[in-house]
Amino acid sequence: MNDSGMPGRKVTMYRNGSVYSAADPFATAMVVDGGTVAWIGSEQAASSIADSSMEIIDLRGALLAPGFVDSHVRLTETGIAAAGLRLEGVRSATELLDAVAAAAASLAPGDPVLGHGWDESAWNVPDLPGLEELGNAAGGRRVYLSRIDVHSALVSDALAADAGLNGVDGWNGTAHVVREAHTAARLAARRLPESERRRYQEAALREAAANGYVAMAEMAAPHICGMDDLRSSVSWNSSGTALPEILPYWGQLAASETEARSILDELGIPVLGLAGDLNIDGSLGSRTAALKEDYSDAPGHRGNLYLSVDDAARHLAACSSLGLQAGFHVIGDAGLAAALDALDIAAAEVGEQRVRAAGHRFEHVEMADAHAISRLAKHAVTVSAQPVFDAEWGTDGGMYEQRLGARSKTMNPFASCYSAGVPLAFGSDSPVTPLRPWASVRACLEHNNPAERISARAAFLGHTRAGWRASKARNPLLGQLVPGAPASFAVWEVEELMVQVADSRVQSWSTDPRARTPLLPALDTGSDPVCLQTVRDGQELFAAESLRA
């Protein structure tokens, strides 16, 4: 198998399992030679080619499948959220203040209280704590507590003073900060030494590896972090440490080709685009997403547009002319309308073909009607979406319904996008939702709107191969397990394998081999598959003790 004579080149055979491969839907074994998939086939054939030079891994019925790609994360914030005060479980201002006091008591003098995950839409009484209350609970420390959507936060009086919030848009003297005030508070709370930043990033990457991810699209932007943070993230790709690959984006506005080149030069590192968390609007939870009609629970308020149509059009035109991906964070229907109008203007200026060829991407796109979806398809825009948003907030009485009323029934139109030819790539928006890819696949299969459900296979492809395509990866075999493809995959302990579809009018699952459809884990068993190993380009990123036991 290894006749190249290259010293130290490792050959590994996986056998006695199930291999998710379009090349052979019945495959039970795979050989990895160096960083490449060398062979896929049957157990009988595996017996005939196995030899003592190979490492043989007995899958014992496990599933070997392409590794996941998370199409929208923020590494440093993910690490900080995991290490800091977790607030998902609090259900009142009193509980939140108690949690802050307990956290402060365990910190060294002068250390800030950093927390994440509160969501007042799930509280019995949605009243937020006061500025001084937070400060008193923390013993005078600086406090920064990001809301679950990370588009607003609660801050203490000490942090408000440190961030210079007086007179800043989005601060009215309370603990709750939005818009520019939130940006100032977040940046003030994120003044980290490089060693600490690296520790948070590595923790996030190792968590991702332990959950089957082989690549992460890092969505950095000036309002989230500095360029140094993105440079630090990208440096993991060449660090020699076996971790998921970073697919880097920088969300900074450019008014011309010259300005776009200047931004790229200043970064000094290769990025895939000036895209990602370049905000056209905010979030629904913080009521900063731009809507065409009022928020149902805030009459007279329609959110915020952070960029004008002309600003967005100039950015799209500049990036299209350079063949560079552009894109925006866009959630509300008014925000999406502005982004689509900007696309039309850019196409008229530089040509529709250049716009399409650049492969622009829009993040989130939670509110899109049929007309908007057809315009996305016209301009060949990829939508990078987060399925767990629907699982978390799309239930009856959930945040979507609170904020939008009847409009909540049309959120996250995955099936409609697929039907119109709009490419979808899926991710977590971590730290907003956890790095749990199978929960995301299940959310697609069990969408709260039955008309927008998609099959497990479509959802899995959206989390794997589509993630590479959304980043304009040059190797067309990425995200597949076929001979010659990069050996980037994960091994999963599963209870049952099947074909699952989302249409309730037909049989909901099948194990019929005549379909020649690769099988995926059953996701209605009450537990997710367990990751046993993650491998990128032949390098082991994670392995459970039981893998080789």
pLDDT, mean over the chain: 94
- Residue 377 in this model has a pLDDT that exceeds 60: yes
- Where would I find the beta strands (DSSP E) of 59-212? 63-66, 68-73, 85-86, 113-118, 143-147, 152-155, 176-178
What are the tens digits of pLDDT across the range 471-484? 998 899 999 999 99
Q: What value does the mean pLDDT take over residues 434-451? A: 97
What are the tens digits of pLDDT across the range 80-118? 999 999 999 999 999 999 999 999 999 999 899 999 999
- Residue 507 in this model has a pLDDT that exceeds 60: no
What are the tens digits of pLDDT across the range 3-36? 444 446 899 999 999 999 988 989 999 999 999 9
What gap in Å lies between CA 219 and CA 123, rounded to an integer? 30
What are the tens digits of pLDDT across the range 328-353? 999 999 999 999 999 999 999 999 99
Q: What value does the mean pLDDT take over residues 217-221? A: 98
Percent residues over pLDDT 70 in the chain: 95
What gap in Å lies between CA 270 and CA 265, rounded to an integer? 9
What are the tens digits of pLDDT across the range 134-181? 999 999 999 999 999 999 999 999 999 999 999 999 999 999 999 999
What are the tens digits of pLDDT across the range 223-276? 999 999 999 999 999 999 999 999 999 999 999 999 999 999 999 999 999 999
- Residue 506 in this model has a pLDDT that exceeds 80: no
What is the per-residue pLDDT for 3? 45
- Residue 381 in this model has a pLDDT that exceeds 90: yes
For strands 497-500 and 509-510, give the pairing. antiparallel
Tally of CB atoms within 10 A around 304:
23
Out of 167-171, 196-200, 207-211, 506-510, which region has the weakest mean confidence (pLDDT)?
506-510
Residue 335, SS3?
helix
The pLDDT confidence band at residue 122, using thresholds 50, 70 and 90, is very high
Sheet holding 530-536, edge to edge: 18-19, 63-66, 489-493, 530-536, 539-543
Nearest to 174 by CA among 202, 140, 205, 132: 132
144, β-bridge pairs: 114, 155
- Residue 313 in this model has a pLDDT that exceeds 90: yes
Q: Domains plus CATH for the chain?
A: 11-67+481-494+529-548 (2.30.40.10), 75-189 (3.10.310.70), 255-470 (3.20.20.140)
Q: What value does the mean pLDDT take over residues 56-66? A: 97
Q: What value does the mean pLDDT take over residues 448-465? A: 96
What is the per-residue pLDDT for 59? 97
- Residue 56 in this model has a pLDDT that exceeds 60: yes
- Residue 498 in this model has a pLDDT that exceeds 80: no
The pLDDT confidence band at residue 549, using thresholds 50, 70 and 90, is confident
The pLDDT confidence band at residue 505, using thresholds 50, 70 and 90, is very low
Phi, psi of 457 (to 5 degrees): -65, -45
Q: Are 267 and 230 in contact (CB under 8 A)?
A: yes
The pLDDT confidence band at residue 376, using thresholds 50, 70 and 90, is very high
The CA-atom distances, in angstroms, between 226 and each of 67, 138, 194, 229 are 30, 27, 12, 5
What is the per-residue pLDDT for 527? 87
Q: What value does the mean pLDDT take over residues 494-520? A: 63
Q: Which residue has the higher pLDDT, 110 or 363?
A: 363
What is the per-residue pLDDT for 1? 43
What gap in Å lies between CA 387 and CA 547, rounded to an integer? 30
